[in-house]
A and B are shown apart, each in its own frame.
Chain A
Amino acid sequence: MSDYNFAYLDEQTKRMIRRAILKGLAVPGYQVPFASREMPMPYGWGTGGVQVSAAVLCPEDTMKVIDQGADDTTNAVSIRKFFEKTAEVATTETTKEADVIQTRHRIPEQDLREDQILVYQVPIPEPLRFLEPSEVETRKMHALEEYGLMHVKLYEDIARNGAIATSYAYPVKVEGRYVMDPSPIPKFDNPKLEMAAVQLFGAGREQRIYALPPYTQVVSLDFEDHPFDPSKADHPCGLCGSEDSYLDEVIMDDSGSRMFVCSDTDYCQSRRAAGHVGHQGVPFEEVSA
């Protein structure tokens, strides 16, 4: 028996967060304020996502935590351990087996199902923040649907760089109403936001929760003559040879050689286990043997 209440937070707090989540699901893309709690980790490490996960976890659930697509980086490992300790839930690295997936900055390559929940960690939930510093003003702009300013940002991108250079946290419009920051996922992932799973976004420091119900219409903003382009590095994965997954660029040495590998480690590993080998990879059996 753990000394913690199930999933660390007390029951009243979880009820409060669940109410915020339900409101967020009822008004897709709307940022619901909630009384964010102090968590035993620093702001910026996913305190919002952790609180949302704690509120939706059940004892029989299996949890997966990913950080930039990887299951084995500091943020993912520490949050996974946190829930192993405080909620004693089973954890997994396999996307298919997970019921709740907490993610930082990626959507898994594997399509999610209706019985899964994807929880995002959000640093700055307000898409208009860097253009309009006043919270009073941005909330009014959301309320009155005054979203011209969002296009000013994209205009500036094209004027300076010749193309929309925003490559992550690319603003989207939800169900033709609210403009939403999809958290800093690469814009490659934006088309995947229309999915079967429930998506919940938690921002701990900014005290906001927002949500996308399954199959919600999510449109990336763009100009008629500069349409949205979900770009990625133009290479196959060096390890598994995948042509259609999002890639990380890894610097190999001081002389400039580099390789591109899937950022989704589970996806890459399962492909290699199925026998796919990239041009810099070795067969899966040799590594695991």
Chain B
Amino acid sequence: MTPLLQVRDIAKFYGGRVGCTNVSFDLYPGEVLGIVGESGSGKSTLLNCLAGHLAPDQGEVLFDTRADGQRDTVTMSEPERRMLGRTDWAFVHQHARDGLRMGVSAGGNVGERLMAVGARNYGNIRTQALDWLERVEIAGDRIDDRPSAFSGGMQQRLQIARNLVTGPRLVFMDEPTGGLDVSVQARLLDLLRGLVRDMGLSAIIVTHDLAVVRLLADRLMVMKSGHVVEQGLTDQVLDDPQHGYTQLLVSSVLQV
């Protein structure tokens, strides 16, 4: 089986400072990879490099495109990369307002990606938007409300619906549960787990919450100061951490 995403020796520097360096991994279809680490460890830099939001200083990111097989997304042209960004890729931001259009109704937010790839039938767009709102547990009668009238958890679920409507194969998530209270977090995680399994999505989840990766991720990468210090199966890494930093991370989780 060819990996969906092959990352080879990615590095990004901010002047003399290291954003992330020497990162390589393979991601197979249907696999969920968690990236954990403390603030400033280069998790988000890495994610943005992979998703094409930042240009890495070296390395290659090979994505298995539907049309012509493996392509390096770092060197492909910008229109092609942006096209991937609204078809095969999805990006869930930590803050829903970064990923939503706050002045546009929920239906319009979900429909935007459909219209961006050429849907021109209002009835169909609306039906799909309704279907997706239902799948992320937002009542259908809220379809014409603006996201500003939604709670934080609903905004986050709307953002997920908006991203998944075009049936992407790879989802990038940057702290998808950050800033939500624990019960809302739990529902969101449950929803995400269901969607990932149902749609056979591959996902890369950046978080500092070990509970999130324990629930969602098949494999885990631990980052510190821009370097990957440990990677392996999630349960293996969390139950038997080898690197000193990982041990510290695991032991610092509060038990209640």
What residues make up the interface of A, taking CB atoms closer than 8 Å to B?
A: 131, 144, 146, 148-149, 151-152, 155-156, 158-160, 223-226
Contacts and interface: CB of A to CB of B under 8 A. Distances in A.
A240 to B, nearest CB: 38
B82 interface: yes
B101 A223 contact: no
Contacts of A226: 122
B116 A149 contact: yes
Contacts of B105: 156, 159-160
Contacts of A155: 107-108, 111, 115, 122, 125
Interface in B67-90: 78-79, 82, 86
A148 B116 contact: yes
B104 interface: yes
Contact of B116 (A146, A156, A160): A146
Contacts of B111: 152, 155
A275 B117 CA distance: 54
B26 interface: no
A152 B108 contact: yes
A129 B136 CA distance: 31
Nearest to A222: B120
B123 interface: yes
Given A152-B104, A224-B121, 19 more contacts: A131-B103, A146-B82, A149-B112, A149-B116, A151-B115, A151-B120, A152-B101, A152-B111, A152-B115, A155-B122, A156-B105, A156-B108, A158-B122, A159-B107, A159-B108, A159-B126, A159-B143, A160-B105, A224-B120
Contacts of A223: 120-122
Nearest to A164: B122
Interface residues of B, number: 25
B144 interface: yes
A194 to B, nearest CB: 21
Nearest to A144: B79
A225 B78 contact: no
Contact of B115 (A144, A148, A158, A159): A148
B117 A148 contact: yes
**Residue of A152, A156, A224 with most chain B CB atoms under a 10 A cut-off:** A152
Contact of A160 (B78, B103, B118, B144): B144
A224 B124 CA distance: 10
Contacts of A225: 121-123
B74 to A, nearest CB: 18
Contacts of A148: 86, 112-113, 115-118
B117 A144 contact: no
Nearest to A148: B116
29 contacts: A131-B101, A144-B78, A144-B82, A146-B82, A146-B116, A148-B86, A148-B113, A148-B115, A148-B116, A148-B118, A149-B116, A151-B120, A152-B101, A152-B111, A155-B107, A156-B108, A158-B122, A159-B105, A159-B108, A159-B126, A159-B144, A160-B105, A223-B120, A223-B122, A224-B121, A224-B122, A225-B121, A225-B122, A225-B123
A144 B112 CA distance: 16
Q: Which 4 interchain pairs have the tightest Cβ spacing?
A: A148-B116, A148-B115, A223-B122, A151-B115
A226 B124 CA distance: 12
Contacts of B103: 131
Nearest to B114: A148
Contacts of B108: 152, 155-156, 159
A1 B120 CA distance: 59
B110 to A, nearest CB: 10
B166 to A, nearest CB: 11
Given A146-B82, A223-B121, A156 B115 contact: no
Contacts of B126: 159
Contacts of B143: 159
A158 B121 CA distance: 12
A130 to B, nearest CB: 8
Nearest to B77: A144
Nearest to B107: A159
Contacts of A160: 105, 144
A151 B118 CA distance: 10
A133 to B, nearest CB: 10
A153 to B, nearest CB: 8
Interface in B217-255: none
B111 to A, nearest CB: 6
Contacts of B107: 155, 159
Nearest to B78: A144
B82, B111, B122, B125 — most chain A CB neighbours (10 Å): B122
Contacts of A159: 105, 107-108, 126, 143-144
